[in-house]
Amino acid sequence: MVKICCIGAGYVGGPTMAVIALKCPDIEVAVVDISVPRITAWNSDQLPIYEPGLDDVVKQCRGKNLFFSTDVEKHVCEADIVFVSVNTPTKTRGLGAGKAADLTYWESAARMIADVSKSDKIVVEKSTVPVKTAEAIEKILTHNSKGIKFQILSNPEFLAEGTAIEDLFGPDRVLIGGRETADGQKAIQALKAVYAHWVPEDRIICTNLWSAELSKLAANAFLAQRISSVNAMSALCEATGADVTEVSYAVGKDTRIGPKFLNSSVGFGGSCFQKDILNLVYICECNGLPEVAEYWKQVIKINDYQKSRFVNRVVSSMFNTVSNKKIAIMGFAFKKDTGDTRETPAIDVCKGLLGDKARLSIYDPQVTEDQIQRDLTMNKFDWDHPLHLQPMSPTTVKQVSVVWDAYEATKDAHGICILTEWDEFKTLDYQKIYDNMQKPAFVFDGRNIVNAEKLREIGFIVYAIGKPLDAWLKDMPAVA
């Protein structure tokens, strides 16, 4: 029986390994992590991450051929294939601070693999890493190997949070990069055989190591760039009376462009887009390509601009001040169907409103109060000017309350900001909400999910990103 071990039981490692276990009953999969609470949660009924369909997959295989454990060394030692899916945050200090990937976790995982291994292994990079990481990992492994042979593969994960299980069941493609040597090709085939249990062969792409590593960064950069492009258009739409939904639809009908990922919003978030672009920027700079670096940097700049533009719109519409006004924040996760708040635009929007002394009442169906408080008190790392900002003061924290119901969040509020596109926000009783709010009552739809016309009929003043402004908003221009 082939044994797989995955180091890192996070958003990538957990769901990916659960699906491998489900689709490959002949393979034993152990997911290991140094975090005891995380592993305890994976072994309980309350999994540490929320993903539609994940509970079901885990229930079917856990205890059979899927195991979650903190005994990292034992499982690594026994495995034929070791996936490394540890976190690779952006460096916050030293060389490359604010841009380069911090490979501390990766390096310590590689050293541990070298230490405990007693047999040859295939080591698979699963977490996104900078191009040429494999080379560094290879050096660590071979210099410490005691004669054991390691083959490094790059197998970046393209799943999207919120649809992870669906994406893993039917991926657009699986990408495997390896050395062009005979041993390298053999390792590629071994990993290919795992995916071939359920992925059609023509969807499994085999490349050299560097292409695979770079493809992951490039894919995320392209995706983020699409969002920033449509968001840049949304600002122009508001200024000209065009409707961004109509523009996106017309543009997306061109088969060379395609309709997906063209929704305008308050901005992209998630742990990957910004981090991977910063990383790409850094790699370009290190390779003497400042123009290319500058090009990709703009994608993040537009994203930051979109968030501050939203905050400015809220404040300017409400008579240029939100001081002591209750603002309901609907949705905090970076997108629907996930509880993940990493780099969510809600953090910057909330901080912007708190900076103007608003009182926030936050509701998200999947994010806990603890998490929200942690996110709002955390230092924001300013990637363009690498210095730490002051943490939020305790008085500001008191301006935030987290509730478990949209109606409670909006009661007596002056305005509502919709920051995550949760389906349930589409079907709320907005008449009831309106009746319980201060007047004039505002809705700022950062995801274009509510029916603005219906809400206006009820009496709301509605701002929807990239849509023609109503008379009220035109009279209260946002100052940039």
How many whole angstroms separate alpha carbon 266 and alpha carbon 243? 16
Q: Which of 72, 113, 333, 413 contacts ligand ADP by CB under 6 A?
A: 72
Residue 312: burial class (beta carbons within 10 Å; 0-12, 13-18, 19+) = middle
Question: Residue 471 corresponds to which tokens in the numbers above?
Answer: 């008379």
Q: Which of 5, 23, 27, 38 contacts ligand ADP by CB under 6 A?
A: 38
Q: What share of the chain is helix, strand, coil (3-state, %, to 5)?
A: 45, 15, 40
Among 4-12, 253-261, 370-378, 434-442, which window interacts with ligand ADP (CB under 6 A)? 4-12
**Catalytic residue list contains 6:** no
Among 29-37, 92-100, 437-445, 450-458, which window interacts with ligand ADP (CB under 6 A)? 29-37
How many whole angstroms separate alpha carbon 32 and alpha carbon 42? 10
Instruction: State whether residue 170 is helix, strand or coil.
Output: coil
Nearer to ligand ADP, 78 or 470 (CB): 78
Among 6-14, 180-188, 280-288, 441-449, which window interacts with ligand ADP (CB under 6 A)? 6-14
CA dihedral over 277, 338, 304, 449, signed as positive or negative: positive
End-to-end CA distance of the chain: 62
Q: Rg (Cα) of the chain, in Å, rounded?
A: 24
Pattern 250-289, binding to ligand ADP, x per CB under 6 A?
---------------------x------------------
Q: Which of 6, 86, 353, 464 contacts ligand ADP by CB under 6 A?
A: 86
Pattern 97-136, binding to ligand ADP, x per CB under 6 A?
--------x--xx-----------------x---------
Please name which of 85, 64, 72 lies closest in space to residue 9, comparing C-alpha atoms: 85
Query: Among 5, 272, 284, 350, which one carries the catalytic annotation?
Result: 272
Backbone angles phi, psi at 360, to 5 degrees: -110, 135
Instruction: Count how many residues are written for the chain.
Output: 480
Q: How many CB atoms lie within 10 A of CB 326?
A: 20
Minimum Å distance from CB 48 to ligand ADP?
Answer: 8
Among 79-87, 261-269, 287-295, 412-420, which window interacts with ligand ADP (CB under 6 A)? 79-87
Minimum Å distance from CB 138 to ligand ADP?
Answer: 18
How many whole angstroms separate alpha carbon 475 and alpha carbon 388? 38
- 31 is a site residue for ligand ADP (CB under 6 A): no
Q: Which of 4, 5, 6, 10 contacts ligand ADP by CB under 6 A?
A: 10
Residues that bind ligand ADP (CB under 6 A): 7-13, 32-35, 38, 72, 85-87, 105, 108-109, 127, 271
Residues annotated as part of the active site: 272
